[in-house]
Each structure stands twice: as C-alpha cells, then as structure tokens.
C-alpha cells in the first residue's frame, strides 16, 4: 500500500496514462540489484530511487578518488576516500527516504554472486569491466533474472536487456576481457546510458512499453544518433546454450 506521502511524492508519474497506483505498487514491490556504484550507477540509482523502487541494493568495493568525479554524481569532493557503497547509501537515502537502500561493500566474484542476487528481481549491469560482467550475466541466466546491461566509452554507449532463455545473453556478443584500462569517458555519456537503464527498469517492473530485448541500442553522442542492431544468439554460447 502506498502512503499519503508516497502518493504525493509520485503524483506526477501516477498521472501518466497507464501508470497509476497499480504500476507504482509494482515498482514499490520490486527489489533492484545495481552492480557498481560508478558512472552508470550514479544516474541509474538516483532515477530508480526517485521512481520509488521499494528496495535498491548497490554493490561496489571501491573507494572514491578524484578521477571518479567527472561522472560519478552519487559522490562528491567531501567524500574522498570513502567507500562508494557508503557514499551511495548516504546520497540515495537522502534522495528518497521512502525506499530501502542496502549496500554490499564487496567485490563481485563467481563465488559470491548467487548469494548477492538472492532476493532481487531486476539486475542492472553498471560495471566497468567485461570480466565481472560475464560473472553477473552467467548468474542472471542461471537464476532467470532480467539483466539491464549498459556500457560506455568516450561519447558512445550501448544498452540491452537480457531476458534469460528468451534473448541472447551478454556472453553471446561481448568480448571476454576489457581492452582499455582506464576507459576514456565523458561524464555525460554514462549520464545518458545510466538514465536509460533506469527507464528500462521502470518498464520491466511495471510492464509498460517495450524493453530493448534481443537488440543492442547504440548511442553516438558526437553525431547525436541512436541506432540498434539485432542480437543473434551464439549457437555455441557456453552460458545460455547448454
Ligand atoms: Zn549466450
């Protein structure tokens, strides 16, 4: 049930055609797991928090350094050296006190991932490396949990929603290892792509609209152009074709 305060807080979205109390309650009953607390997670977590997701778990083991702050708007200069998960908790609980925020101050590994994802309904891939993405993808396919993937470089970004056993998985098309480290990135690019991840999370939770499943959305910020390509399942994919 939504309280009077929540009805007031979400009023402007409740009046969207097709949204209403029913969709808002679905959002409230949805537990999101956000992998990473960096550039993509910053807008994704902020917009998911203000949308009213009942519980948001955010997982990151890293600490805040100066070079993070051109894009990681969950954090700020007064929190230098602080764990990103703790900083995310401070920001998100202030942004929306009507939701539950849980933090996991840990590195995602093949060993702990199943436990980490245990009670969550939708997973957001806000990571910055392919190695951990593949661990997350494998667990989502195994546990039948939808995964909203995004990635950025420079002024370019990509996004897809993996619906296990319905769409190709990340392992079908993503390289095994990260090529560049550090990845060059303009803060606005994860700003766009993380916001789109939040939009897909809202659509998955409510059933509104059509999510970017089975397709890879490509964003070219310099040309200001969105395009998409159809993803093909890799017939020999070790993750989704067993
Ligand atoms: Zn696959």
In a domain, 144, yes or no: yes
170, two tokens: 């990340």
Q: Where are the alpha helices (DSSP H) in the chain?
A: 4-9, 11-14, 20-28, 41-51, 84-95, 113-116, 130-143, 188-206
205-208, Cβ contacts within 8 angstroms, sequence gap of 24 or more: 205/23, 205/26, 205/27, 205/30, 205/53, 205/121, 205/122, 206/19, 206/23, 206/26, 206/27, 207/23, 207/26, 208/18, 208/19, 208/23
Cα 228 to ligand 1 centre (Å)? 19
In a domain, 135, yes or no: yes
Task: Give the Cβ contact number of residue 25 at 10 Å.
Answer: 16
Among 35-39, 145-149, 179-183, the minimum mean pLDDT is found in: 179-183
Question: Position of tokens 């849980």?
Answer: 102
In a domain, 32, yes or no: yes
Mean pLDDT of 16-29: 98
Question: Of 124, 119, 152, 144, whose CA–CA distance to 211 is shortest?
Answer: 124
Check which CATH number belongs to the domain holding 154 and give it: 3.40.50.720
Q: Residue 108: pLDDT above 80?
A: yes
In a domain, 109, yes or no: yes
Q: Rounded CA gap, 22 and 206, in Å?
A: 8
Cα 170 to ligand 1 centre (Å)? 6
pTM beyond cutoff 0.85: yes
Question: Position of tokens 């152009």?
Answer: 225
Q: Left, alpha or beta for 30 (phi > 0: left; psi -120 to 50: alpha)?
A: beta
What protein residues have CB closer than 5 angstroms to ion ligand 1? Answer: 169, 171-172, 237, 239-240
In a domain, 238, yes or no: no
Cα 112 to ligand 1 centre (Å)? 21
In a domain, 184, yes or no: yes
Please write the tens of the pLDDT for every residue from 124-180.
999 999 999 999 999 999 999 999 999 999 999 999 999 999 999 999 999 988 777
In a domain, 241, yes or no: no
Q: How far is CA 113 from the centre of its chain?
A: 16
Report how many domains make up the chain: 1
Sheet holding 100-104, edge to edge: 100-104, 55-59, 31-35, 122-125, 147-153, 156-162, 215-220, 225-230
In a domain, 170, yes or no: yes
| Domain limits for position 198 | 4-230
Cα 105 to ligand 1 centre (Å)? 29
């Amino acid at each position: 049930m939504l309280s009077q305060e929540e009805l007031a807080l979400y009023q402007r979205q409740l009046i969207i055609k097709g949204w209403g109390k029913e969709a808002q309650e679905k959002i409230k009953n949805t537990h999101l797991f956000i992998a990473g607390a960096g550039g993509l997670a910053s807008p994704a977590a902020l917009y998911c928090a203000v949308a009213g997701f009942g519980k948001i778990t955010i997982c990151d083991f890293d600490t805040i350094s100066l070079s993070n702050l051109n894009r990681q708007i969950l954090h700020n200069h007064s929190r230098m050296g602080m764990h990103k998960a703790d900083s995310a908790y401070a920001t998100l609980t202030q942004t929306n006190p009507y939701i539950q925020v849980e933090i996991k101050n840990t590195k995602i590994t093949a060993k702990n991932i199943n436990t980490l994802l245990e009670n969550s309904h939708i997973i957001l891939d806000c990571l910055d490396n392919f190695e951990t993405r593949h661990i997350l993808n494998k667990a989502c396919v195994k546990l039948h949990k939808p995964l909203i993937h995004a990635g950025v470089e420079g002024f370019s970004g990509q996004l897809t929603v993996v619906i296990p056993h319905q769409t190709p998985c990340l392992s079908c098309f993503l390289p095994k290892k990260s090529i560049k480290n550090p990845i060059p990135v303009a803060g606005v690019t994860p700003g766009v792509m993380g916001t789109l991840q939040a939009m897909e999370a809202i659509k998955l939770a409510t059933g509104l609209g059509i999510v970017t499943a089975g397709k890879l959305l490509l964003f070219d910020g310099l040309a200001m152009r969105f395009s998409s390509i159809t993803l093909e399942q890799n017939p020999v994919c070790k993750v989704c074709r067993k």
